[in-house]
Each structure stands twice: as C-alpha cells, then as structure tokens.
Amino acid sequence: MSRRPVVITLMVLAAIALAVVVVKVLDEVGDPEPNAGGIPLTAILPRSVDAVGVPTIGIGAGRHCDGQVLVYHDILGFEDRVRPKFVRRYADLGGDAARAIERFANDVRAGYFPASGETYHAADAVTEALGLYGSVEHAPA
C-alpha cells in the first residue's frame, strides 16, 4: 500500500488548519494598514504551529517553528553575494577557499609546488635506463 494518499491528506489537513488560524488571527488583529506590508508572521506563526499538529520547519519564519532550515552554503559562508536577513554565517569557508587557491597558484607559479617530497620518483635503475635527467648520482654506501 502506498503512503502517498496519507501524506497528501495530512498536507491538506495542515493547510486547512493553517488557513483557519490565519483567518482567526486576521479577525483579531484586523486588516493591515495600507502599505504596511500585510500581517507580520510573528502574529500568526505561534498559533499556526500549535494549531496544525504536525511539525513545522521554518526558513526565515522565526523561532516559533519546530525546526529551522539553513542551506549549508549559507551556514558555512561559501557564498557572499547574497545574504538574506535570516542567514547567520558560522564560518567563512568561501574566503578560506579563495585564499587557499591563491596560495596554491602562487606556489605553482614560483616553482615551490610540487616539492620533491610531494612527487613520485622513478627508481634509479629506470631513470638510468631511460636516460632521464642525466646520470644518477648514488650516495656512498
């Protein structure tokens, strides 16, 4: 048996419950003043969360929701071109990444990367057989 009808039914019931709460709050608060931007979520949300009976997850909807969502790019600071009001950055990984790539590019341009210890080398016998890099000097035993 598919759970899809049950999920859809719950979603419809939650939407109806939310609509009923909004209508009740609008009756209590009254019509918003012209150009006031509508009824603030803070007036509706606490009652809505309690009324729907299912967990509510918010993104920018305030602390009254049962859970919160933030895109990990925003949390970690990968992107700094757009910063919605509800975003709190917990790191600056975008800046760290840009600085790391710049350091890498500078090391490559200057010939510091890769160093000998960061390179796989052919065995001396292979190097000599192929005539690579001139002759191989052996350290005294």
- Residues 97-107 have pLDDT tens digits of 999 999 999 99
Average pLDDT by stretches of 10, the chain with 141 residues: 62 70 66 56 67 76 83 88 87 94 97 93 81 58 45
Surface-to-core class of residue 113, CB atoms within 10 Å of its CB (0-12 exposed, 13-18 middle, 19+ buried):
middle
Nearest to 86 by CA among 66, 114, 110, 58: 58
Q: Confirm whether 82 is domain-assigned.
A: no
Q: Confirm whether 124 is domain-assigned.
A: yes
Query: How many domains, the chain?
Result: 2
Q: Confirm whether 136 is domain-assigned.
A: no
Q: Is the pTM of this model over 0.85?
A: no
Q: Confirm whether 111 is domain-assigned.
A: yes
- Residues 18-45 have pLDDT tens digits of 677 666 766 666 655 554 555 566 666 6
Helix 4-29 and helix 41-52, axial crossing angle in degrees, nearest 10: 140
Q: Confirm whether 39 is domain-assigned.
A: yes
Q: Confirm whether 122 is domain-assigned.
A: yes
Q: Confirm whether 86 is domain-assigned.
A: no
Task: Answer for the pair 62, 49: CB distance below 8 angstroms, yes or no.
Answer: no
Beta-strand pair 67-68/57-58: parallel
Task: Answer for the pair 89, 74: CB distance below 8 angstroms, yes or no.
Answer: yes
Domain extent at residue 106: 94-130
Q: Please report the pLDDT score of residue 141 as a whole number.
A: 45
Q: Confirm whether 98 is domain-assigned.
A: yes
Q: Please report the pLDDT score of residue 43 as a whole number.
A: 64
Q: How far is CA 93 from CA 47, 80, 84, 90, 135, in A?
A: 38, 10, 18, 9, 46
The dihedral formed by the CA atoms of 69, 70, 75 and 79, expressed in degrees to the nearest 10? 170
